[in-house]
Structure 1
Amino acid sequence: MLRVALRGVRAHLVRFLLSTLAVMLGVAFVVGTFTFRAMLSSTFDEIIATTLVADVYVRGAEEIDATTSAGSSFGTPHAPVPVALADTVAGVDGVARAVPDASGPIVLVAADGTAVTTSGPPSIGIAVGPDEPTVTLASGAWPVGGTQIALEESAASAAGLTTGDATTVVLAGAPQPVAVTGVFAIEAAAAGTILVGLDPATALATYAPDGTVPTISVYAAGDVSEKVLADRVAEVLPEGAESLTGEAMRDEAREGVEQILGFIETFLLVFAAIALFVGAFIIANTFAMSVRERQREFALLRALGASPAQVFASILAQAVAVGLLGAAAGVVLGRVLVSGLRAAFGSTGMELSGRVPLSVTSVVVAISLGVLVSVVAAAVPGRHAALTPPVQAMHDDVAPDRGTGTRAVVGLVLTLVGAGLLVLASRLGSSASADPTGWALVDDLNPRVLLAVGASAALVGVLVLSPAIAGAVITVLAVPAVAAIRPLGRLARGNVTRSPRRTSNTAGALLIGMALVSATGVIAASTQASVRSIVDEQVRADYVVQAAAATGALPPGVTDAVTGLPAVGQALALRLGTLDVDGEPSGATVVPPGFFTEALDAPVVEGDPDRALADGEAVVSRTAARDEAWEVGDTLTLTSDDGARTQDVRVGAIIDTQVISSDVVLADATYASVGAPEIPTYAVYVTAAPGTTTAELRDALTEAVKPFLVVSVLDCEELANAAAAQVDQVLVILYALLGLSIVIALLGIVNTLALSIIERTREIGLLRAVGLGRLQLAGIITIESVLTAVYGTVLGVITGIAIAAALPGVLAEQGLTSLAVPWGQVLAVLGLAVVIGLVASVWPGIRASRLPVLEAVTVD
C-alpha cells in the first residue's frame, strides 16, 4: 500500500503541487521566524560581549522605571551611582581602573547639513580613547576636548564624513561646531546605531551633569577573578549601591534582550500559524477532491482485499509525502528569506550579524509542523474514503455532498456564542462601574480573554456555518454575472453552488485572511480616529514642540529657546522622571501649575488638577486610581530612586486622559523636592502671546528650534497626523505579514479550480461538444473563481468588522475610544477579491480550454 500511495503522488504530481506550495510557504514563515530571531540574538550577543567587557560593574541596588530611564540599553535599569564613587572603588586591592560610564543621545549633522537619522536605532555619544577596550582607532586620532569627535565606521559612512572634516553636533542642548579627528571600529555590528566618540571628560560633563552615572566599569589588575573582585568592591560601597561580576551583567543583558526577542518571535509565529492554518484548507480540499475522483480506485483496492485501515494509511502516506516535500522546500526558502531580510536591513544602515544560524531544533520543528498539518488536513477525507463501501464507490462517479443541517446548527451556535462574548467583553471593558452586570462571577472576567475567545468562536462559527449559507449568498452575489453574461453566468453559478461544501472550504482560506485584514484595517482606522478626537478635544495649546522622532526627548536647550520668544504667551514643558510611589518604581509626568488650563484639557474624574498641582498635590490617572484603590484625599509616599529623599503628598485630583501615560502627575517644585534634579523634556506646549497670530508664532518657533535640527513644531492637526503616521507604519507591517495568508488562499482557489476541472472532465467535454467555445469555457472558469473569491471576502470582511467593533470597549483605557470603519478600504478589499479571482482562474482556464473534446467525453 505504501508503494501504491507513493505511486499515486508521482502519477498526480500536479494535483499535489499547490498543496506542497502551501506547506512550503507556511513552513518558510516558521523557519524564517526562528532564523531571524537567532540572527538578532547573535547580533546582540556580539554587541553585549564586545561592549560589556569590564570584570565588575557597580550600579544602584534599586530597580527604576524602565519607560523613563536613561540608563543602560540592556537589562533592567537601576538607580544611578555617584561619579565620585569611582575613586573609592579604584583604591580597592586588585582594581586596575574604575571608569564611570557616561553616554547619551547626540545629534550628528551629515556632510549635506542635515541631521543623520536612522529607521529606529538611536544616535549615541560615547567616551572613546586609548584606554577604552571596546573601541579601536582605524584612522586619525582620538578626540581631545569638547570641540573634537571621532566617528564609528558605519556612522562616518552614513554621515558622509571622514577624518579632518568639520561638522556640527547637538550636545547638552546646544549646537556645537566640532572637528572629526578620527574614525574608530567596534568588534560587533553596530546594528544601525550612530556612535559618536567623545573625549571621556567631555562625555562625563555632558551626560553626568548631576554627578551620577548608570554604572561604573571596574577592570581587574592581574589574575584576580571576577567573583573575588566583586566581593572586595562590595565591601567599600555605600548603602544603595551594589557590585556584580561582568559575567552576571552580561547574562542579565542577554536576558533582557531575549525577553524582547521572545515577544517578536511570538508575534511572528502567530502569523506563521495563520499561514499554516490557511494552508490546511488547501490540503484538506485537495485530498477531499482527490478522494472523490479516485473512489473507484479505492473500491478496486478494497475488492482486491485491502482493508479500510490500509486505504486510510495510504492516503495519510501521501499526506506525509506532501508534508515532507513542502517542509523541506520551506526550510530552504525560509533561510533564503532571512538572508534577503538581512541584506535589506543592511541597505538601510542597520547591519546585523553576518551569521544566519539554522538550528537542528528549528528544522525538526518546521518539518514536523509541515507533516502534522498535512496529515491532520488529510485525515477526514482519508477516513471518508476508507469507510465508503466498495459497491457504492463503484457506482458513484462523484459522491454528492452530505447534508449541512448539523453543521448549520453548530456553526450558528458558535457564531452566536462568539457574538455574545464580544458584546460582553465590550461592556465589561468600557464600563466605569466595578459591577457592570451585577453578577460577580461575570464581572470578574477579563475582557481581553473574552474578546479573544469570542473572536475565535465567531470566526470558527462562520467557517462551520459557511456551507449552509453558501448557496443563498452566492446566488445573490452572482446576480450581476447572471444578468450580464448569459448563459455563462448561470452555468458558473450552478457549478459553484452545486457543491457548497467544496466552495466553502475553498473560500474558507480567503475568509480567514480577509477577516484579519478587515479587522486590522478597522483597528487602525479606529486608532487614528481616536487619536484625532483626543487631540482635538484635549490639546489647548496652539503648538506642541517635540522631537522629530516623536518618542524621543528634546535637547535641553529647547525649552529656554522657546520660552524667551516675544511671540510666546505660555510655554509649558512636559517632563518625565522616575521615583517610587508607595514603594513601587513608577514614572512621573512633571508639569508646571496651570498645565491643565493652558495646555491640556484633560477629562476630570474628581477634583481640580491645576489647583492640586499648585498646592503640591498629586494628580493620578483613572486607571491607577482604580487599580490601586486611590481616592482624592489619600496620601502617597514618594521616594527618590536612591532612597535618600521621601515626601508624602496628597491625591488632589483624578483625570482620564491618554495624552499622559504616567500614573502620577506632579508639579515641577513637588518633583524637585524628591526626584532627580535633571530630567528630560519630551514636549513643550506653546500658546501665542496676546496680539500674535498663530502663523507669526509658528514662524518664531520654527526659527528658534532650527539650530537643534531634530525638533518639530506641530499644530493640533499635525500632531494627530504624526500619531496616525506611526499607526500606518505598523499597519504596513501587519498587512505584509497577512499578505502571505492571502497568497496561500489564492493558491487554494487555483488548486480547487484545477481539481474541479479534472473532476468535471466529461461535463466539460459535453459542453464543448454542443458548441461551447474555448473562450466561453475560460469565461465560466473565471466567473466561478471570482464568485468563490468574493464570497470568501464578503464573509471575511463582515466577520472582521464585527470582531473589531468590540475593541473600542475593551481598549478604551488605552485610548481606543472611537469606532471607524474605513469604507474605502473595504471597497478596495472587495476589488482585491475580484483581482484574486481573475488571477486564480488563468491557469485552470487555460488547462480546461485545452482539453481534447473527444477524450473528455469518453473519460470514465
Structure 2
Amino acid sequence: MKLTAQLAWRFLKARRARSLFAVIGISLGVMLLIISQIMMATLEQSNEKSVLEKYGNFDLISGYNGSTKKLSANDLQTIKGFPDVNQITPMLFPYASENMPAAVAAQPVYIGFKHNQLAMEHPLVSIDKGEFPQSKEVVIPARYAKSKGLDIHSEISLPFPPGKDVNVRVSGILNEREQLNNIFIFDYDWIAAQTHNQNKATAVMMKLDQSADKQKVIEDLKEHFEGISIDKRKAMMTEKEQLGGLKPIVNGLSITVLLGSLLIVVSTLQMSVQERQKELATLRLLGGKPAQLFYMVIWEALLIGIMAALLGTVTGTVLCYSLSNIAEQFIGYSIQSISIPAISIIISFFGSILLTVLAATIPALSTSRLSPIAAYSQKISESKADSKRTIIALTMILLLLAIMTFSVHKSGGSGSFSILLGVSFVLIMFVMTPVILRIIVTVLTFLLRPFYQMESMIAGRNALKRMRRSQQIARVLTLAVIVGLVGFMILQAVVSQTEKTISKQYPLDYVIQATEASYEPGFSSSIIKQLDNTNGVEAIPVQTSILTHTINLDIKRVDSNWNGQFMTINGKKEILTSVGGLNLEKVQNIIPFDIVKGRIDHLRDYEAVITKQFSEDIGFRVGDVVTLEPDDLSEVSGKKPFTLRVVGVVDEVPILPDEDLRFFTNENTLNELFHLQKTEQIFFNIKDQSEKGHIKASIEKLLENPQYQDTILYDRKEEMDKFYQQYKQRIVLLGSSVFIITLIALVGLMNSMASNLRESKKEFAMMRAIGGKPWQIVRLALYEGIVISVAGSIMGLISSIVLGYNLLSALDVNNLEIPYMVILIILLISPLLGILSTLPSALWLSKSNLIRAVFED
C-alpha cells in the first residue's frame, strides 16, 4: 500500500498543471460549501435578534379569543404544570366579539396584560412613549392619540359595561403601526376586576423549555381543553429557522456546486489514466495487480481531495470575513460578528474528501480493467459503443417525456407527477450525454463547415474522438445552465405571482387614513384639492361611508349559504350595509377592474354600484331600487330613510376589495342627503420616482396642519420593497452559485483542452510540416473548445426548459414565459468559455517547436 501511495504521489507531481486544475476545481466547490455554512450560521445568529423583536420571544398562544368562554385560574395552573412549559402569562379580552356591547364596539379593542417580561414580548405591547399601565391607566394607539389630541398623562372617559364609565389616565402611546391602530392596553389585574373577570383569561402566552417538544404541548392542550385555539407561531419559526427561505436555497445550491466539482474529479482522473497508458501497462507487465492500479487512482484522488479541502476551507473562511459587508448590502441582513460553526465545517471538510474519493471509483475501475498490451500500443481503452437499441429506446423515452411535459402543463399540472417527469428527463439526458453530445457536435461541425471547412471538420472529429473526456465537462456546463435558467424561471414566476398578490392587497403605494376609531372615521376633504394640485401625485379619495340597514329586504332572494348576520328591524330580518361616495371611473382608469353588468360612469344622484359578491349573496340586481335607513350606530342616525337605484355590478373594487356590502354612489349623494363632506381614505401613487422623497416629505408636512391632525400617512409600498429585497437575496445567491459552477466548468475545460492539445501534438506538427500557419493551429484548438462548451450549454438549455416547465406546473403556474433573453445570453457566453479555456494552451502550442517536441516525447 505504501508503494501504491508513493506511485500516486509521483504521478500527481508528473502532471503538476493538470493536478493543480483539479485541486482548484474541487476547492471552488468546497469553498462555496464552507462559505454557505459560515454565512448561514452568521445570518441565523444576526437574524435571531430581529425575529424575536418582530414576533416576540415566546412559543405558543392558546385560548378562546373571540368567544365568551374563558380560561379559569385552575386552567392556567394546569397549563403551567405541563412538563415542557417554562413560563406562562395570561391575556384578557374582557369583551368578546360575540354579543359585544355597542358602547365598547365603538372603541378600540380592550386587552389586559400582566406587567412581566413574558407579556412584554408580545408584538402588541409595543410602547413608543410612556410606560406600561397601572391601575386606572391605559396605553393608546398613536392614531387615536392624534385624533383626540391626547398625550401622556391625558385623561379620557371609557365605558366598562355593565358598570359605569371610568376616567383613565394615558400612561403610554403605542408605536405608529397599522396593526396597532385599534387596541387599548390595560393592566390585567385592574381590567379583570373592573369587568368582573377576576382569575380569568381569554388566552395564555407560553414560553417552553429549550429542549421542549412543541407538538407534545399542543397535544396536551387539545386533550385538556376542548375547542381551544392554538397559535403555533409557524411564521416566526419559518423565518427563524430558514431565514425566510434562504437556508434550503443556499444548501441546495452548495450541494449542486459540489456535484459539479466531483464531475471535474472524474474527468481529471480519466485524463490521468489515458495520459499514463504506457506507465500503467508497464506496471501490469511487471506483475502489478488490478487492485493495486485501482488503489493508486484512489490514492491520487485522496491526495487531490485533501489539498482541495484544505484550500477550499481556508479560502472560504477568509472570504467570509471580507464578504460580510457585501452580504449585509446585498442580502439585507445586519451582521454583527462572524460565527464559525466548527462541527459543520469539519463535516464539510471530511465529507468533501470522501465524495472526491467516491467519485474516483469510476476511473479507478476502468484503470483496474486496463489491458496491458492494448495500453502499451497506445490504443486507448474505450467502453463499448452503446447498443443501437438502447440509444433508440432512451431517445424515445426522452421524446415521450418532453411531450408529456407540455401536455401536463397545458392541462394545468399535476404536482409530484410533473416533478417526476422533469427529474426523469434530466437524469436520462445525463445518462445519454455521449450520444446527445455526439449529435450536437456533428450538427455544430456541419454549421461551421461553410466558414472554415478544414478547421471545423478536424475540431469536430477531435471532440468526438475524445468523447469520454469531453462528456464530463459538458455535464458540468449542463449543470450550470440548469441551475441558472431553472432558478431564474422559478424566481421570475414567483415574482410575477407575488407582485399580483401584493398589488391586489396594496393597489396603490400610499394611503392617508383617518385616525378616528369609530365606525365612520373621516377628515376634511379639502386636502384632496391640494393633492390634485401636487405634480406627480395620482390620488383616489374615498368618501366616508355611513352605516345603514335595509328596509323591507326580500329574504327569499338572499343566498341560503350566505354566512353573514341578520338584524331584526320591526320584526323583520334586515342586513347592515354602508353607503359611500367613490369616483369609480377614476379608479377604473388607474386600476382596471371588470364591470359585470350595467355601468359605472356618470353616476347621477341616488344611483349606486354594488359588487358581484354583494349581488350574489343578497340578491340585488341592476335596476333594483333599495330602501335604506341610517343605522343607530351612524353619526347621522335618526335621519329619514332614502332609496338608491342599482345601475351597475362590478367584480370588485380594487382599492376596497373587502367591502362586499357597500353601495358605491357619487360623491354628491351623501352631501345632499346628510350634508356629509368627510373623507375616510385617500389612496395615491407618486408617479415620478425621482421626486418620491421630496413629494412624500411635502405631503407629510401638509398633514402637520392642525386641520389634518386626525390623519396619518402609511407607506404601503414597504411590503413590496420587502419582497424585492428577498428577491434580490435569491438572485445574488443564484448568480453566485452559477458563477462558481461556471468557473469549475472553465477550470475543467482548461484542464481537458490542455490535455487534448498535448495529445494532438503529432497532428499539429504534421500541419506545420506541410505549411500550416501558427494562427491556423490556434483557430483549430479554439474551435474544439467552442464546440464542447456550446454543446454542453445546448444540452443544459434543453434540460432546463423541460425541467422548468414541469417545476412550474407543479407550482400551479399556468402562464409560463420562456426567458428568451437569458437563453440568448447563455448562447453568447458559452463560446466565450470555450475560447477562454483553450486560448492559453493554444497560444503556447503555436509558439513551441512542435516537431522537436514530438521527437523528444
> Matched residues, percent identical?
16
Segments of 5+ residues of structure 1 without an aligned counterpart are: 65-77, 105-124, 133-144, 148-169, 178-198, 219-234, 431-446, 548-552, 575-580, 583-589, 619-655, 671-681, 688-693
Q: What is aligned with 1:707?
A: 699
Aligned to 1:848: 845
The Cα offsets for residues 107-136 of structure 1, whole Å up to 9 and x where unpaired, read as: xxxxxxxxxxxxxxxxxx85367999xxxx
Q: Is 2:285 aligned against 1:303?
A: yes
Per-residue CA distance 1:363-413 (angstroms, 9 max, x = gap): 232123322332233212111110122222222343356313366356425
| Partner residue in 2 for 1:34 | 37
Distance 2:683 2:842 in 1: 63
Write the distance in 2 (CA, Å) between the matches of 1:175 and 1:787.
72
Distance in 1 (alpha carbons) for counterparts of 2:427 and 2:416 = 17
Structure 1 counterpart SS, 2:172 = helix
How much has 1:318 moved relative to structure 2?
0.9
Amino acid in the other structure paired with 2:376? M
Aligned partners of 2:449 and 2:456 also within 8 Å: yes
How far is 1:486 from its partner? 5.0
Aligned CA RMSD, in angstroms, stands at: 5.6
How far, CA to CA, are the matches of 1:684 and 1:743 in structure 2?
53
One-letter amino acid of the structure 1 residue matched with residue 243 of structure 2: L
- 1:800–1:63: structure 2 CA closer, same or farther, 3 Å change rule? farther
Q: Partners in 1 of 2:260 and 2:544 — Cα distance?
A: 51
Residue 68 of structure 1: aligned partner: none
Task: Name the counterpart of 1:499.
Answer: 466
Q: Name the counterpart of 1:754.
A: 754
1:832-851 Cα shifts (integer Å, max 9, x gaps): 11221221122222332344
Q: Is the 8 A contact 2:789 2:834 kept in 1?
A: yes
* C-alpha displacement of 1:358: 2.4
Q: Work out which of the residue numbers 358, 365, 377 in structure 2 matches 1:376.
A: 358
Is 1:452 the counterpart of 2:422? The answer is no
State whether residues 513 and 738 of structure 1, in contact with CA within 8 Å, keep that contact through their aligned partners in structure 2. yes
Partner of 2:72: none
Q: Determine the structure 1 residue equivalent to 2:395.
A: 412
Cα distance change on mapping 1:210 and 1:364 into 2, 3 Å: same
Tell me, yes or no, if the aligned pair for 1:757 and 1:844 is still in contact at 8 Å: yes
Q: Secondary structure at the match of 2:174?
A: helix
Aligned to 1:184: none
Distance in 2 (CA, whole Å) between partners of 1:426 and 1:591 is 44
The structural deviation recorded for 1:59 is 6.1
> What amino acid is the match of 2:203?
A
- Alignment partner, residue 838 of structure 1: 835
Helix, strand or coil: the match of 2:762?
helix
Out of 508, 511, 533, the position equivalent to 1:545 is 508
Return closer, same or farther for 1:379/1:212 CA change in 2, 3 Å cut-off.
Answer: farther
> In the TM superposition, what is the alpha-carbon distance from 1:720 to its structure 2 partner?
12
Are residues 1:210 and 2:191 paired?
no
In structure 2, C-alpha distance between the alignment counterparts of 1:96 and 1:856, rounded to whole Å = 81
Question: How far does residue 58 in structure 1 lie from its aligned partner after superposition?
Answer: 10
Cα shift readout 1:531-565 (whole Å, capped 9, x = no counterpart): 99x79xx98x9x94224xxxxx9766699679873
**What SS is found at the alignment partner of 2:304?**
helix
* Aligned-residue offset at 1:346: 4.7
| Aligned: 1:392 with 2:380 | no
Structure 2 CA distance for aligned equivalents of residues 346 and 729 of structure 1? 10
617 and 502 in structure 1: CA distance in 2 versus 1, 3 angstrom threshold: farther
Listed one character per residue, the Cα deviations across residues 552-586 of structure 1 (whole Å, up to 9, x for unaligned) are: x9766699679873677774999xxxxxx99xxxx
Mapped partners of 1:723, 1:45: distance in 2: 20
CA 59–396 in structure 1, closer or farther in 2 if over 3 Å, else same: closer
- Say if 1:463 and 1:247 are closer, same or farther in 2 by CA, change over 3 A: closer
Q: What one-letter code is carried by the residue in structure 1 that aligns with 2:38?
A: T
Distance 1:99 1:262 in 2: 25
Which secondary structure does the structure 2 equivalent of 1:242 belong to?
strand
Cα distance in structure 2, aligned partners of 1:480 and 1:359: 53
Q: What residue is the counterpart of 1:777 in the other structure?
A: 777
2:445 to 467, 474, 478: 478
Alpha-carbon deviations, 1:430-488, whole Å to 9, x = none?
A: 5xxxxxxxxxxxxxxxx232222222211122222232233332232234543323533
Check 1:851–1:367 CA distance in 2 against 1; reply closer, same or farther (3 A cut): farther
In structure 2, distance between residues paired with 1:573 and 1:383: 81
For the 8 Å contact 1:524–1:728, the answer to whether it is kept is: no
Distance 2:45 2:716 in 1: 40
With 418-427 and 723-732 compared, the bigger mean Cα shift is at 723-732
Counterparts of residues 152-551 of structure 1 (less than 5 Å): 201-203=172-174, 208-212=180-184, 238-245=200-207, 255=237, 257-261=239-243, 263-346=245-328, 352-400=334-382, 402-405=384-387, 408-409=391-392, 411-412=394-395, 415-416=398-399, 418-419=401-402, 422-423=405-406, 425-426=408-409, 429-430=412-413, 447-479=414-446, 481-523=448-490, 544-547=507-510
Q: Distance in 1 between matches of 2:800 and 2:119?
A: 59
Q: Cα distance 1:720–1:2, how it changes in 2: closer, same or farther (>3 A)?
A: closer
Displacement, 1:793?
1.4
SS of structure 1 residue aligned to 2:206: strand
Aligned to 2:17: 14
**Superposition TM-score, scaled by structure 2 size:** 0.62
- The code of the aligned residue for 1:381 comes to P
Q: Letter of the 2:200 partner, please give it.
A: P
The CA distance in 1 between the partners of 2:383 and 2:578, in whole Å, is: 69
Partner deviation per Cα, 1:616-665 (whole Å, 9 max, x = no partner) = 779xxxxxxxxxxxxxxxxxxxxxxxxxxxxxxxxxxxxx9999999x95
CA contact (8 A) 2:242 2:248 kept: no
Flag the structure with larger Rg. Answer: 2
- The answer to whether the 8 Å contact 2:44/2:241 transfers is no
Which one-letter code corresponds to 2:799 in the other structure?
T
Q: What's the offset of the Cα at 1:359?
A: 2.7
SS at match of 1:305: coil
Q: Does structure 1 retain, via aligned residues, the 8 Å contact 2:47–2:243? A: no
Q: 5+ unaligned residues in a row in structure 2: which ranges?
A: 67-89, 95-107, 134-138, 150-169, 190-196, 215-231, 533-538, 546-561, 564-576, 597-608, 620-649, 664-679, 702-712
Query: Residue 508 of structure 2: SS of its match in structure 1?
Result: strand
Q: In the alignment, does 2:765 pair up with 1:765?
A: yes
CA contact (8 A) 2:280 2:372 kept: yes
Alpha-carbon offset, residue 810 of structure 1: 3.7
Query: Is this contact kept in 1: 2:63–2:203, CA < 8 A?
Result: yes
Cα separation, partners in 2 of 1:411 and 1:314, compared to 1, 3 Å: farther
Q: What's the secondary structure of 1:4's corresponding residue?
A: helix
In 1: Cα distance, 2:109 partner to 2:487 partner: 53
Between the aligned partners of 1:389 and 1:35, the Cα distance in structure 2 is 47
